[in-house]
Amino acid sequence: MIYLELPKSLRVLANQAHQIGKNVFRPISQKYDEAEHEYPKELDMLAALLDGLDAGGGRPDGGGVTALKQERGGDGVNNGANMATCVGLTELCWGDVGLALSIPRQGLGNAAIAAVANAEQKKRFEGVWAAMAITEPGAGSDSANIRTTARLDGDEWVLNGEKIYVTAGSRADAVVVWATLDRNLGRAAIKSFVVPHGTPGMEVVRLDRKLGIRASDTASITLSDCRIPKDNLLGTEDIDTKEGFGGVMQTFDNTRPTVAAMAVGVARAALDHTHELLAKEGIEVRYRGSIHSKNAVEAELVRMEAEWEAGRLLMLKASWMADNGIPNSMEASMSKAKAARVANDITLRCVELCGGEGYSQRRLLEKWARDSKILDIFEGTQQIQLLIIARRVLGKRSAELR
């Protein structure tokens, strides 16, 4: 039987993360939306608190790979780090997506380290705040088209290339860079490398101004004969043309459900606030009875609630599969595609339903509408997710269905 209620430990985590979203993020949300590229110094204190909680066995933020010790049920089912990450991020992003992306030591690169690194590397990079650099000027949604190169020279890798749209790229301690060992071997030769900030040859050349998530920095980085130790390559340097670049792509199987969780969180925030504003005008949603018996606003809210629940359940399924060692590439893409598109639709529709109040900066609704758009773009666009899903459903290779 399917049991859809969160276990007690995850309910505690969700509540703690919700309190952070409400009492830490919401009060400073507008401030750092307006002060783009200014570092949210309030997060340093939060990070110190989370480190202390981590030492005690669990993180309320849900942001890192050590988010929660695995909970094992009597039937051998795990509710582990992936589920905890998604549950926690949902509540943090109910507070603010950009600030959730800016918590020290909780970068997307940390998910790459968790997915690909060996035991020694996981221990060595523990506590490091890692951003992730994939996208290039000539390689956007198609990660297999990466042109940044990595050449082994003695005991060092030499990296050359350019990366754009690196979330937390200027603030993080290190950047996980995707590069190819041999362009002639295609995607099989793509590997990921940990490059600490301050390494000669790596330079942040630009910070982008953005529509949303302004509290989070988005950087462009160049690598010019950038040398890193040989053992900073995550995983193995062996090139297996049969495996493709499944090793580095495993990162997405972990991170796409977390993007879905962000979308679920910001969509929930918009729905909650819309209910509050409409209630002040005497409009209450009745969930009983046929949808055809409701007024237009009620019917619209009921439909949005149903879409939100579909996105949430897909996110939970994908993260649960990751925790239990079940291949989840298709489900990860499904959760990201559904939840992100739902978040876009819900936040914009909530702005419309609330009229001038929704459009005004007096309310956070307009900000959530701007913030939500990136969730349909990064970690693979909507179109790429649908293409991945189609390949899995039809049993086609990427060369057969493009």
Q: Do 335 and 216 belong to one domain? A: no
Strand partners, 220: 206
Q: Do 251 and 387 belong to one domain? A: yes
DSSP helix/strand/coil, 63? coil
Q: Is the pTM of this model over 0.85?
A: yes
Query: Which domain CATH number covers 339?
Result: 1.20.140.10
Q: Which residues of 80-92 are buried (b: 16+ CB within 10 A; e: fewer)?
A: bbbbbbbbbbbbb
Which positions ≥6 away from 283 have C-beta within 8 Å? 295, 297, 298
319 in any annotated domain: yes
Task: State the residue range of the domain holding 69.
Answer: 8-110
Nearest to 85 by CA among 109, 100, 68: 68
Q: Do 262 and 374 belong to one domain? A: yes
Query: Which domain CATH number covers 102?
Result: 1.10.540
Q: How far apart are CA 274 and CA 291, in angstroms?
A: 19
Q: Give the chain's largest Cα–Cα span.
A: 74
- Specify the residue for token string 């913030």: 371
End of a domain among 209, 232, 255? Answer: 232
Q: Do 158 and 72 belong to one domain? A: no
Which residue numbers are catalytic? 379
Nearest to 313 by CA among 260, 266, 349: 260
Q: Do 174 and 218 belong to one domain? A: yes
Q: How far apart are CA 129 and CA 121, in angstroms?
A: 14
The number of folded domains in the chain is: 3
Could you say which DSSP state residue 53 is in? Answer: H
Please give the chain's pLDDT, 402 residues, in tens: 467 788 888 999 999 999 999 999 999 999 999 999 999 999 998 887 776 555 444 443 334 433 333 444 445 668 888 899 999 999 999 999 999 999 998 888 988 898 889 999 999 999 899 999 999 998 776 777 899 999 999 999 999 999 999 999 999 999 999 999 998 888 889 999 999 999 999 999 999 999 999 999 999 999 999 999 999 999 888 877 555 455 566 778 888 999 999 999 999 999 999 999 999 989 888 887 777 778 899 999 999 999 999 999 999 999 999 999 899 999 999 999 999 999 999 999 999 999 999 999 999 999 999 999 999 999 889 999 999 999 999 999 887 888
